[in-house]
Structure 1
Amino acid sequence: MNLFLELLLFLATLVYSYLEAFVKLFVPVRRKSVSGELVLITGAGHGVGRATALEFAKRQSRLVLWDISKHGVEETAAECKGLGATVETFVVDCSKREEIYSAAEKVKKEIGDVTILVNNAGVITTADLLSTQDHQIERMFEVNILAHMWTTRAFLPAMMNNNYGHIVTVASAAGHFGTSFMVAYCSSKFAAVGFHKALTEELSTLGKDGIKTTCLCPVFINTGFVKNPSTRLGKILEVEEVVEALMEGIVTNQKMVFVPPQLNIALLSEMVFPERALNVLKKLTVPKFDAIIGQRSTQ
């Protein structure tokens, strides 16, 4: 096909896509069932991980819960069992590749093939770059992005063989917007967003259209990980509203889930607004939180 015909095809596809999007505004979105799916959630002992597990339990999914805290993951499991779900728990430090691979082998041999993988485990240190210690930077990358790769490498082969599954990346708005005193954290979340996008593209190239991907990108959530967060515009999110948006994204196969949805507009503004205007806007919207500043310690 020559270049002219390819451009015509692009324009026709563009017009069709806009028309399709307009029609979908008035047509209910089809939602898939997750009943009976084997769902593995990392960081399931608290916060978003626990609330996500409870939502899957309500939908009659089978659950495999991982967390570094034995007490936390067992509490989550007890709540899920109270909803009638089948639950298995594992104590796993997601900063350690060997623990991930070892636990994954046990899951595959003793329980079965994971069909929905929710990479949720995450850690954060709020400090300026020079005050953030080396081991804190390493741990943020180990948990916030490398663990996603190890778990996906462990469970993706079965999904590939069956051309069926769903991989969920819990990232952050910090994976799209830089924030002061979160340089290492933002970097790890930018990597998580990039991982999701590249994996999505690769699965498409390989023809594995039965494997869906979803990336969750919320602003600050009231989980206690960030101390005393506040913002002049918008609000600090509650866990329940974030998980509600995530579940909707999963059952409707959305690739990117922003919470709140208006973050899409903020992304667009970065591309179209002049830098001077953006700087004024950032002063209005910049979040505030407790952070370590000026310690200059790397040990």
Structure 2
Amino acid sequence: MEKSGFTKILDVIRGTQVKDIPGLIWKFHQRFGILKTLAILYILAGFTFLWLKANGLWFKKSIRGKHVFITGGGSGLGRDMALILAKKGAKVSVSDINLESAQETVEMVKSSKGKAHAVALDVTNPEDITKAHESAKEQFGVVDILINNAGITFGRSIVNSTPREIDLVYKVNAISHAYIAKQFLPDMIKQDSGHVVTISSAASTVGVANNADYAASKWACFGYDESLRSELRKMGSKVKTTCICPYYINTGMFEGVKSKCPILLPFLDQNWTTRRIINSILQEEPVTYMPFMVNLNGLLRAILPTCLFDSVQDLVGTSSGMDTFVGRK
């Protein structure tokens, strides 16, 4: 029985010492020819690069003394990010619609000898955004890193969603990003440095039954981040952008949701996800998908007929995961 291409590659690797890279490349060349060897090396280099970044082993910038502004910092992911960033030496402005929650986060930061400031902020209100920005600048100076983390969901079907709920989901999850960018970006562009971080979702890569407004709002903020990156690149600015697209995280926001295929799409641990996001920021990654399988949604959409793509989504539970949604109480 003829061996598969993958088995042949393993045979070559097994017969070569790990340290003998030139020898390994030469064996690949002898076995597969120059074009296949280049393709194999390209794929191996790509996976190595992804592994290094996923484990925080790539180049990392220092944020010591930098001013970080986080929306939705009063709980969950936002609170965890504030604590870790402060431990790394950043000055953190913690904003939340619930000022008491933001102050609790600040007290936790200060108890660890970090620097933090609480700001009341309704991200759907442009006047609130202006006041919060001015308060943060007065406390710690120009914002160096902006993290758009605030988000909500009601987890209802399209016909059962109320106009108020739909409006609020879009305003918090997407439209607020435009309001906030308009307020914070001018300082970053002026000083030719800064970083805008968008907490999007794996739902920005695929439609989600019983969560259409949430998914659509995350598609919108993903597109806004990509457009912002394009605009900054066009003007030659050194301001960076990072878009984070995680699967469901065990923060309580999606309490009750079930993963039909936990081997490929497991619920993400909040602590692990926070560390991965921080590494993405420090490594200045343009886009980060979690877990790795989320990367494949775009590829599958491109190569599969729509009916097969839909079948794959049914198979992994995209169309049924929200059936048991309870949400944060």
Once residues 107 and 54 of structure 1 are traced to their aligned partners in structure 2, the CA distance between those partners, rounded to angstroms, is: 17
In structure 1, the partner of 2:297 is 266
- Say whether residues 1:232 and 2:260 are aligned partners: yes
Once residues 73 and 23 of structure 1 are traced to their aligned partners in structure 2, the CA distance between those partners, rounded to angstroms, is: 40
Once residues 263 and 70 of structure 1 are traced to their aligned partners in structure 2, the CA distance between those partners, rounded to angstroms, is: 34
Aligned equivalent of 2:153, options 115, 124, 130: 124
The residue type equivalent to 1:182 in the other structure is: N
The residue type equivalent to 1:96 in the other structure is: N
- Offset at 1:92? 1.1
Aligned equivalent of 2:251, options 223, 226, 234: 223
The residue type equivalent to 2:270 in the other structure is: V
- Offset at 1:227? 3.1
Calculate the aligned-residue CA RMSD, in Å.
2.1
In structure 1, the partner of 2:3 is none
- Offset at 1:23? 8.1
- Offset at 1:255? 0.5
- Offset at 1:24? 9.1
TM-score, scaled relative to structure 1: 0.86
Q: Is the 8 A contact 1:39 1:114 kept in 2?
A: yes
Aligned equivalent of 1:244, options 261, 275, 290: 275
- State the Cα deviation string for residues 10-39 of structure 1 (Å, max 9, x = none): xxxxx9xx9699389378521111111100
- State the Cα deviation string for residues 252-282 of structure 1 (Å, max 9, x = none): 1100011112211232112112333323322
- Say whether residues 1:137 and 2:166 are aligned partners: yes
Q: Is the 8 A contact 1:181 1:291 kept in 2?
A: no
- Offset at 1:139? 0.7
Instruction: Give the 3-state SS of the residue equivalent to 1:130 in structure 2.
Output: coil
Consecutive unaligned residues in structure 1, runs of 5 or more: 1-14, 293-299
Once residues 82 and 267 of structure 1 are traced to their aligned partners in structure 2, the CA distance between those partners, rounded to angstroms, is: 44
In structure 1, the partner of 2:288 is 257
The residue type equivalent to 1:154 in the other structure is: Q
TM-score, scaled relative to structure 2: 0.79
Indicate the percent of aligned positions where both proteins have the same amino acid: 28
Aligned equivalent of 2:241, options 213, 234, 244: 213
Once residues 174 and 180 of structure 1 are traced to their aligned partners in structure 2, the CA distance between those partners, rounded to angstroms, is: 10
In structure 2, the partner of 1:39 is 68
In structure 2, the partner of 1:276 is 307
Once residues 20 and 159 of structure 1 are traced to their aligned partners in structure 2, the CA distance between those partners, rounded to angstroms, is: 36
In structure 2, the partner of 1:158 is 187
Aligned equivalent of 1:100, options 129, 153, 172: 129
Which has the higher mean CA deviation after the structures are superposed, 46-55 or 229-238? 229-238
- State the Cα deviation string for residues 33-76 of structure 1 (Å, max 9, x = none): 11111000000011110111111011010010000112211121
Which has the higher mean CA deviation after the structures are superposed, 68-77 or 190-199? 68-77
Aligned equivalent of 1:84, options 106, 113, 134: 113
Q: Is the 8 A contact 1:43 1:121 kept in 2?
A: yes
Larger Rg: 2
- Offset at 1:80? 1.1
- State the Cα deviation string for residues 168-225 of structure 1 (Å, max 9, x = none): 00010111110001111111111100010000000000000x2111001001111222
Once residues 276 and 137 of structure 1 are traced to their aligned partners in structure 2, the CA distance between those partners, rounded to angstroms, is: 28
The residue type equivalent to 1:272 in the other structure is: I
Q: Is the 8 A contact 1:60 1:84 kept in 2?
A: no
Which has the higher mean CA deviation after the structures are superposed, 269-278 or 112-121? 269-278
Once residues 170 and 183 of structure 2 are traced to their aligned partners in structure 1, the CA distance between those partners, rounded to angstroms, is: 18
Once residues 122 and 34 of structure 1 are traced to their aligned partners in structure 2, the CA distance between those partners, rounded to angstroms, is: 25
In structure 2, the partner of 1:181 is 210
- Say whether residues 1:147 and 2:170 are aligned partners: no
Once residues 276 and 151 of structure 1 are traced to their aligned partners in structure 2, the CA distance between those partners, rounded to angstroms, is: 39
